[in-house]
Structure 1
């Protein structure tokens, strides 16, 4: 019985070690701190492993994915605001971009001339 428990615990420890190695490899600028006491460690490690697998398969952060999603959201805007939305996403027209993701987000501003009412 003791040998079964030892072998089972050895397998579990090996699995945890492999997961820890995968998480350590995945740790980069955007890796959450799973050791933070406010975070569910099991879920954090599971999500980190799933993200690593998706990244390896090329399914995570595909090039142009953010712009594609943002442009799709522009289609839900009223027609009068749609062109300005697309300019902000693409950075065209009279668009300025300030800030950073690390600092809390990028602010995209597009100035659009509006004809005066007579």
Structure 2
């Protein structure tokens, strides 16, 4: 048995700021927390809708406060960042082949952006109808 003390690497609270890959990773993971909170806000709005129009209108009035509008804008920015980073990672996860050739990464990424645009357009049309 050895009496040497094993090496323990010290990691400070800002370890992730030293490497841009880690920084982007932590920011993407943090964005998922904001998106989760926003999902709960929308679920609460659905709950208020089930309680009647007066309760839902009260929730809508609350959501029109400038702080909530800033939160909505922040959530939009973080959601777009989260989507962009996931779209750039998709070719690494989806190993697609057409015959003997691998599908180019740009095709996979472009198709994801096209799908996002189509779903967003459908959502916009549904809201405006």
Q: Which has the higher contact order (CA 8 A, sep 6+)?
A: 2
Query: Could you say which structure has the larger radius of gyration?
Result: 1
Structure with the higher strand share, 1 or 2: 1
Normalising by structure 2, we get a TM-score of 0.29
Q: Which protein is richer in helix relative to its size?
A: 2
